[in-house]
Amino acid sequence: MGYGVCRLSVVPVRREARDQSEMITQLLFGDHYKVLDESNDHKWLQIRVYFDGYEGWIDQLQHKGIEKDYFDQINKLDLKISTEITAGILYKKKLVHIVLGSVLPISSTELFDLQEQFAFNGDSKNLGLKYHFEQMKQVALQYLHVPYLWGGKTPFGIDCSGFTQQVFRISGYKLKRDACEQFTQGEKVPDLDMANPGDLVFFKNKEGKINHVGILLEDSKIIHASGKVRLDFLDEKGIFNEELGKYTHDLIGLRRILSG
């Protein structure tokens, strides 16, 4: 069916091929994908995001088609990723506002497609450069107080697993999109006493299914998206919200992604 790349600030990816359907994730500028199918009315495309394998539907009007060799070239280059909350990139002499975690069409040494005419002078890092915990913590804190948004991945609205995925992506690590998928990655941490700052912490609902994830910080604190991206206390029972005076999430397990 073809391939595409996001050339807008952010594009909603929906569960079904209609505007009223639930937004399950977002494409940020620079995200690329494979086209799997087209709706009968030709208004929607079903896609698979290259980075995390997530599938959903995007509006045909927000699709930018690319050739397979161009798609393959993107996958091989160590591109850059934006490290500013917002920045501007000139695309075909027009300004596009991009957000933290957008993939920049620039390799370590050059533009990878001169025909697309990009110019960017904001802050960025190489996608493949792995951060240590202190650097990753600073990335996470950039999202502090960002409102919760189901399916969101931006500094203007983000969900719990979108938050962890973006923080780790900017820090040089690949995470899947949903919390239950992230729980299968990395190394299992037996209990909270053996945890390190930077470990992923997972929580369950009443049925015992994983429904939440956050990032462990020092001093028994966790940063996570619940209502907004916030800092709370964590113990072996779960997350304690001081404002509400109660536990809000029940701990189920931890995983270690950071190397070293």
State the CATH number of the domain containing residue 214. Answer: 3.90.1720.10
Statement to judge: residues 68 and 173 lie in one domain: no
User: Residue 108: which residues within 8 A CB-CB, separation 6 or more?
Assistant: 78, 80, 126
Tokens of 27: 């494409």
Q: Are residues 157 and 248 in the same domain?
A: yes
All residues at 6 or more sequence positions from 190 whose CB lies less than 8 Å from its CB, including other chains? none
Give CB contacts under 8 A, 24+ apart, made by 183-187.
Answer: 183/210, 183/213, 183/253, 183/255, 185/255, 185/257, 186/255, 186/256, 186/257, 187/255, 187/256
Cα 182 to Cα 162: distance, rounded to the nearest angstrom: 11
Instruction: Tell me the percentage of the chain whose pLDDT exceeds 70.
Output: 95
Q: Which domain holds residue 41?
A: 3-126
Active site residues: 160, 212, 224
Digit-coded pLDDT (tens) for 94-144 = 899 999 999 987 654 444 454 566 788 789 999 989 999 999 999 999 999
Strands 32-38 vs 23-28: parallel, antiparallel or unpaired? unpaired
Tens digit of pLDDT for each residue in 181-194?
Answer: 999 999 999 999 99
Q: Position of tokens 């002078």?
A: 121
Q: Which of 79, 95, 126 is the last residue of a domain?
A: 126
- Same-domain status, 90 and 119: yes
Domain end position, chosen among 77, 97, 126: 126
pTM: 0.94
Domain end, chosen from 75, 92, 126, is at: 126
Q: State whether 116 and 141 are in the same domain.
A: no
Are 76 and 161 in the same domain? Answer: no
For residue 46, the domain's CATH number is 2.30.30.40
Return the residue matching tokens 């690590």. 173
* Tokens 């695309």 -> residue: 91
Query: How many structural domains compose the chain?
Result: 2
Residue 94 to residue 45: CA distance in whole angstroms? 25
Is residue 141 located within the same domain as residue 121? no
Say if residue 166 is in the same domain as residue 244.
yes
Give the separation between CA 20 and CA 26, rounded to whole angstroms: 15
